[in-house]
Amino acid sequence: MELYTFFRSSTSYRVRIALAYKGLAYDPRFVSLPKMEHKRDDYLAVNPQGLVPALVDGGHVLSQSLAIIEYLDEVYPAPPLLPEDPFDRAYVRSLSQIVGCEIHPLNNVRVLKYLQGRWSFSDADRDEWYRHWIAEGLASLERSLLREQRHGAFCLGEEVTMADVCLVPQIFNARRFDCPLEDYPTVMRIFERCMTLDAFTAPRPNSQPDAV
């Protein structure tokens, strides 16, 4: 397998965690976002969306981190990242999408650049925007976990799922922008527990060969 990845990309980190958790080896292909390598023709030929990550397996190119993780789970099912019960699966997807669909897209690189380039946001405005959506999203995640009361060491009971795989990189992003995290004790307990596992620590951003 080949993974097109950028060290600081939280969506790439999700896929790196999933690969590590399943013990799957891959060749990294580094795509620098600051250098705009994701918009170069050679990368667009791989992933026309111009986003990282992209995974190549058996000659197929896969894009969108949640689709990639679900693919990996179907083709390499052990250990699983989605539970068997349909209701549990929907719950794990729902928690994953709080991160993947409600937080991350609003704080993506191109959104922040547009706010600064087109709407003259200062660095302070940008950071306030970023922290606002982190706070909304993590509060929603915390409330969901507390209402369901189905968490244990991880988002769903005692096994790692895709929801944990999404949660951890989002906390790395939040810390990078100095977002206050004390209002999300359940989320943070799960984060700390995940960070005791090699599958989460080995692929962390600053351990990556392309980290600068």
β-pairing, 54-57 vs 2-5, is antiparallel
Q: Does 47 bind ligand GSH (CB under 6 A)?
A: no
Q: How far is the CB of 185 from ligand GSH (least distance, A)?
A: 26
What is the phi/psi pair of residue 26, to 5°?
-155, 160
Tell me which of 108, 116, 186, 201 binds ligand GSH, using CB under 6 A. 108
Q: How far is the CB of 182 from ligand GSH (least distance, A)?
A: 25
- CA distance to 19, 34, 77, 121, 207, per residue, from 24 (Å): 5, 28, 11, 42, 18
Q: Does 9 bind ligand GSH (CB under 6 A)?
A: yes
Q: Which stretch binds ligand GSH (CB under 6 A): 3-11, 118-126, 156-164, 195-203?
A: 3-11
Rg of the chain, C-alpha, whole Å? 17
Q: Does 10 bind ligand GSH (CB under 6 A)?
A: yes
Lookup: tokens for 66: 């949640």
Q: Which stretch binds ligand GSH (CB under 6 A): 91-99, 102-110, 122-130, 198-206?
A: 102-110
Q: Does 61 bind ligand GSH (CB under 6 A)?
A: no
Judged by the rule CB under 6 A, the positions of this chain that interact with ligand GSH are: 9-11, 33, 38, 51-52, 64-66, 100, 108-110
